[in-house]
A and B are shown apart, each in its own frame.
Chain A
Amino acid sequence: DAGVIQSPRHEVTEMGQEVTLRCKPISGHNSLFWYRQTMMRGLELLIYFNNNVPIDDSGMPEDRFSAKMPNASFSTLKIQPSEPRDSAVYFCASSLAGLAASTDTQYFGPGTRLTVL
């Protein structure tokens, strides 16, 4: 298995531009998570999906951020318009959520390093 796949790996854009980050979870996993990592705040959960349905988006910083999961094998995180403070590494993770949901291992992708100038 290729693991969680994220694209692009690096993105440099200018303030005000739209940014779309993509994620392909591990086949068969039915929970998907978007995280943001910065030096100051560490790893923060933005949103997570279970069976393609958003369960908790309380971590999404503001209306400029949106996430979708149109099917079990694809998710996007969009920032529109982007701002310099959005610069961070964005990780996607997936897990096989079952009856023992709290113990399921989350497998992380390699991340997308976003720089907004």
Chain B
Amino acid sequence: QKEVEQDPGPLSVPEGAIVSLNCTYSNSAFQYFMWYRQYSRKGPELLMYTYSSGNKEDGRFTAQVDKSSKYISLFIRDSQPSDSATYLCAMSAELTGGGNKLTFGTGTQLKVEL
């Protein structure tokens, strides 16, 4: 079993829809949770970051973490065609010695159609 599970999609929605992307994980040591966005033939870029349980909102994006269920979500409101990309969840535990080792999900491919 993978440490982080993510539905690969593809997920196709109409413009303006609310999108829900999810990941589950098995390692209870994970404390830092991130969502990366990756456009086709580009490197991933950090979209949002949260620590421990709770919600965080940034414009049209909301990240949600439920550590008791080992479940994280990313919601996109009023989705736009420019949101079409692959979304990867990533997690890390507290580390000593410097650096941050991330464990990624496989990514969910999202397409927002006009």
Interface residues, chain A, with chain B CB atoms under 8 Å away: 4, 30-31, 41-45, 48-51, 55-56, 91, 93, 95, 97, 101-111
Contacts of A110 in B (CB 8 A): 41-43
The answer to whether A106 and B102 touch (CB under 8 A), given A43-B44, A55-B97, is yes
Contacts of B78 in A (CB 8 A): none
Chain B, 82-114, contact with A by CB distance < 8 Å: what is the 0/1 string? 000000100011110111111111110000000
B32 touches A103 (CB 8 A): yes
Residue in A4, A43, A102 whose CB lies within 8 Å of B95: A102
B101 touches A56 (CB 8 A): yes
A50 touches B88 (CB 8 A): no
The yes or no answer to B49 lying at the interface (CB within 8 A) is: yes
Contacts of B104 in A (CB 8 A): 42-44
Interface size for B (C-beta < 8 A) is 27
B107 touches A43 (CB 8 A): yes
Contacts of B88 in A (CB 8 A): 42-43
Question: What are the 9 closest A-B residue pairs judged by CB atoms, nearest first?
Answer: A108-B43, A42-B106, A50-B98, A43-B104, A31-B99, A50-B99, A97-B98, A102-B100, A97-B99
Contacts of A104 in B (CB 8 A): 100
Write the nearest CB–CB distance from B33 to chain A, whole angstroms: 11
Write the nearest CB–CB distance from A72 to chain B, whole angstroms: 14
Which A residue sits closest to B104, measured CB to CB? A43
B98 touches A31 (CB 8 A): yes
Contacts of B51 in A (CB 8 A): 103
A103 touches B95 (CB 8 A): no
The answer to whether A48 and B44 touch (CB under 8 A), given A42-B88, A42-B107, A103-B49, is no
A83 to B51, CA, bound (A): 40
The answer to whether A42 and B105 touch (CB under 8 A), given A50-B99, A95-B99, A103-B32, is yes
Write the nearest CB–CB distance from B26 to chain A, whole angstroms: 15
The answer to whether A102 and B92 touch (CB under 8 A), given A108-B44, A111-B43, is yes
A55 to B98, CA, bound (A): 9
Residue among A44, A106, A109 with max Cβ neighbours from chain B (10 Å)? A106
